[in-house]
Structure 1
Amino acid sequence: MATDHAPPPSSPPAHETPLRVLLPQVLPALVVGVAAALLFLGISALSEEFQGVLWHDLPDALGIGGYSSLWIITMLTATGIAVGLVIWKVPGHAGPDPASEGLGGAPLAPGVVPGLLLASALGLAGGVSLGPENPIIASNIALAYWLGRKAAPALPGAVWVSLATAATIGALFGTPVAAALVISEALTGRPGPGSLWDRLFAPLVAAGAGAMTTQLLAEPSFDVGLPPLTDPGWGDLLAALVIASAAAVFGLAACYLFPYVHAAFQRLRHPMVMLPLGGLVLGLLGALGGPLTLFKGLEEVKELTSSIGGWSSGELAKFAAVKLLALLVAASCGFRGGRIFPAVFIGAAFGLLAQALIPEVHPAVAVSSAVLGVLLATTRQGWISLFTGAALAASPAMLALLCLASLPAWLIVTGRPQLELDKHGHALR
């Protein structure tokens, strides 16, 4: 893995105005933004096409129900075998153990990227309960760092890492806002030349280019069809506080179990044992929870929320519990993928469960608050959690409620184990 020993950028000379410093950053940021989005869209399109073959064309040709219990178990086990082969045989072994990797991080060697993307695409197509975010961000960082250092060796490597991270987050969410929040959180407390907005300038350009590329080519949307909250009251605030806190406790259950489940799979040592067994367990969970508990979860959230009131509390509790266990197993046994999108489904199911138990709770309040709580517990990314909850509600009135609901939920999760491990298998806090 390449390492960057370049010193941090010094303050520009007095004769150099911020304009002269920032303008040369625009073109590299635009290039990285568009390229990062295209890689994300390409992998997403490839996995969706393959998903259609595996879950529709192939079972139809065989005369088998595409989402029968037998097919779900078979497909998840086969996916485990395929990903295990990639990790075992492909150069780079699809990168490091994903249990100890968060969003971003140090650049990987470029030779790792093909195997990482292949393992991620197979998992997405095969129904594994992980999202594309971690592998795509890691791949874009590796490529931007490698090519950027060749094209402009005078620039610190950290510049290319921040551009690739911001660009990919912008592409994933279809807006630069999420990237701005994440990058500003990362810059908090770090000394550097210029104002915060000067340091955010190039990453925001990259995030905007990535978001616009995604918008133009794919028209992504986090609007899941929740009825808008137009006139929040004290009851809505109380519901948001309680549901976000309860969802955070629910999400923490996976965080506490994570080191033990991960250690159990690590004892198997070989990827051709760990991944097929993990796939079999995921298949059994999928057969129990049904097709809604498969895949990364965003489209399944839309299906959940399209039938508010049509699900029983027992069904919703099953969806939330099965998806939480599926995320835990998938992250523990070595599948390559991110945790944000499955956590959104878990939160949505948990919120609809709360709304089913207490019908007076507004659906937007229930779903957004629960997604906020689960994301805070599993990612410990405060801004991402707030942004995602607000984006799902698509209601400006929810933002104030979510800001307040995040406070007790954060008190619950801060200092507790995260859904991420250190290099020794111990939970990060």
Structure 2
Amino acid sequence: MDGEPPPDGPGRVPEADTGVLLHSQGYLALLLAAALLGIPLSIVVFGFLTAVHELEHLVWHTLPASLGFEELPAWWPVMTLGVAGVLVALAVTRLPGRGGHVPATGLTVDVTPPNQVLGTALAGTASLVLGAVVGPEAPLVAVGSGLALLAVRRTKLSDDAHAMIAAAGSAAATSAVFGNPLVPVVLFLEVFGLTRRDTMLLVLPCLVSSGVGALVFTGLGDWTGLEIGALTIPDLEPAGLGMAGVVWTLPVAAVVAVATWAVFALGRRTARLAASRTMVVTVAAGLLAGGCAAVYAVVTGHSPEEAALSGQVTLPELATHPEQWSAGALVMLLICKGIAYGVCLGTFRGGPVFPAVLLGAAFGILASMWLPGIGTVSGLAVGIAAGVAVTRLPITSVVLVVLLLGDAAASQMPIVILAAVTALVIDELLMARTRDLTRGA
């Protein structure tokens, strides 16, 4: 940026000069640019999310009904995910950027070159619409970043300024999909792992762009009546936190952490196979994920849609009407969606957070059925916090749970924090153990 003090190393500014830089004309101009970019970016992303939402409804509701099916056939996801495997594999092998990052590695917020936006958007759309068990957050991060850089490509900004503009674009793109514009800002800071100086410089553009984006999303939603499919839970009744709930927090969080870690281990293994045989492995993963959804539908009598897709549609029903699932149905949901989630993490393109939220919620509801003293709200709090923490986002998991639970979160904060910390520690131990075994082999 113009007027930036001499660096204290590659791309670094001394801590003492942070206050000067924050008040510099170049940085204030960057904040204005972030705010202005938030408007067109949010309009474009609103259109993208609306299209994905409408296409999902077309594929999973309108088309089966037009073919004469009163209920979604159990085999439907086998067909859709098989097609998705072909389309995603073509995007990965034929288009720049390989369709975006592999979600099995966790959520990344790397700068996306503008020439990779199309491939990322196409691979993400095919994955999301046709039933892959991934979330929309990763494609939005990449699309927002790439479009923001495209908008400022002819400017003479420094590399640091370009990185901040890209982050602001990603924040604007994801400002509504998590149900609150604060979540992407916290997520970005956690993933970047910045110093105090860099945090100060990055947080303001992201906050400005995310806030503007949320306003645009809200206005467009009210004006058009269209939906984008944000991750939300309707209002839950506040519930007290008993001693039994606290006692069960650690073992429940540990089980969720181990299960989610195993899913990601499956994803990493699948990703290694897909790296050399992209088409074969991606199509096979799609057929396997679709088969898992079909088995779930046949065994439980529920819609196969619940075991496919990102989980954002199923989450509100599960959280507010858990009585619609028996304990056996929840076990089957965890097994079938967990396997589908694992193979999709390694082959399809999307984010890891949304399915982790749904599986954590299912674990929590199951715990509230089986374990004495755990209410539904406490089960949700522990399960979601532990599930998202294993995606390497422990702070984001706490913030996300609090926002999802709304007024009901106030009494659950102690177990939310305990669950996130427990899951993170177990994940680190398992990762270290895996590394030791790999070295030993």
Answer whether contact 2:176 2:230 (CA < 8 A) is retained.
no
Aligned to 2:225: none
Alignment of 1:167-246 (within 5 A): 167-185=172-190, 190=195, 192=197, 197=200, 199-218=202-221, 222-225=231-234, 227-246=236-255
Give the superposition deviation at 1:320. 1.4
The number of residue pairs the alignment matches comes to 411
Aligned pair in 2 of structure 1 residues 79, 66: CA closer, same or farther (>3 Å)?
A: farther
Aligned to 2:117: 113
Aligned to 1:300: 314
Aligned to 2:135: 131
Out of 318, 323, 338, which is 1:309 matched to?
323
Counterpart of 1:247 in 2: which secondary structure? helix
Give the superposition deviation at 1:15. 7.8
Give the superposition deviation at 1:184. 3.9
Alignment of 1:395-414 (within 5 A): 395=408, 396-414=410-428
Aligned to 1:384: 396
TM-score (norm 1): 0.85
Counterpart of 1:364 in 2: which secondary structure? helix
Separation in 1 of the partners of 2:63 and 2:32?
45
Answer whether contact 1:229 1:362 (CA < 8 A) is retained.
no
Aligned to 2:294: 287
Separation in 2 of the partners of 1:261 and 1:15?
49
The superposition leaves residues 369-397 of structure 1 with CA deviations (integer Å, 9 ceiling, x where unpaired) of: 101111112x1111211122222222222
Give the superposition deviation at 1:368. 1.7
Structure having the larger proportion of residues in helix: 2
Counterpart of 2:99 in 1: which secondary structure? coil
Answer whether contact 1:282 1:326 (CA < 8 A) is retained.
yes
Answer yes or no: is 1:330 the counterpart of 2:330.
no
Counterpart of 2:341 in 1: which secondary structure? helix
Give the superposition deviation at 1:6. 8.1
Give the superposition deviation at 1:97. 4.5
Separation in 2 of the partners of 1:148 and 1:242?
50
Answer whether contact 1:83 1:335 (CA < 8 A) is retained.
yes
Aligned to 2:147: 143
Out of 69, 74, 81, which is 1:69 matched to?
74
TM-score (norm 2): 0.83
The sequence identity of aligned pairs, in percent, is 24
Separation in 1 of the partners of 2:124 and 2:230?
22
Aligned pair in 2 of structure 1 residues 83, 391: CA closer, same or farther (>3 Å)?
A: same
Paired residue type of 1:284: G
Give the superposition deviation at 1:251. 1.0
Paired residue type of 1:201: L
Give the superposition deviation at 1:101. 6.2
Answer whether contact 1:256 1:417 (CA < 8 A) is retained.
no
Give the superposition deviation at 1:206. 1.3
Give the superposition deviation at 1:407. 2.7
Aligned to 2:300: none
Alignment of 1:63-102 (within 5 A): 63-64=68-69, 67-95=72-100, 97-100=102-105, 102=107
Separation in 2 of the partners of 1:56 and 1:275?
25
Out of 22, 32, 43, which is 1:27 matched to?
32
Aligned pair in 2 of structure 1 residues 358, 309: CA closer, same or farther (>3 Å)?
A: farther
Paired residue type of 2:258: V
Answer yes or no: is 1:254 the counterpart of 2:263.
yes
Counterpart of 1:150 in 2: which secondary structure? coil
Answer whether contact 2:135 2:352 (CA < 8 A) is retained.
yes
Separation in 2 of the partners of 1:266 and 1:205?
38
Give the superposition deviation at 1:58. 2.2
For structure 1, the 5+ residue unaligned runs are none
Give the superposition deviation at 1:187. 6.2
The superposition leaves residues 9-55 of structure 1 with CA deviations (integer Å, 9 ceiling, x where unpaired) of: 56769987737565323321112323343333222111122222222
Aligned pair in 2 of structure 1 residues 159, 149: CA closer, same or farther (>3 Å)?
A: farther
Aligned pair in 2 of structure 1 residues 400, 215: CA closer, same or farther (>3 Å)?
A: farther
Counterpart of 1:298 in 2: which secondary structure? coil
Between 171-180 and 321-330, the greater mean CA deviation after superposition: 171-180
Paired residue type of 2:305: P
Answer whether contact 1:347 1:367 (CA < 8 A) is retained.
yes
- Superposed CA RMSD in Å reads 3.1
Separation in 2 of the partners of 1:14 and 1:63?
66
Answer yes or no: is 1:371 the counterpart of 2:384.
yes
The superposition leaves residues 119-142 of structure 1 with CA deviations (integer Å, 9 ceiling, x where unpaired) of: 211211111111111111012112
For structure 2, the 5+ residue unaligned runs are 1-8, 223-228, 297-303
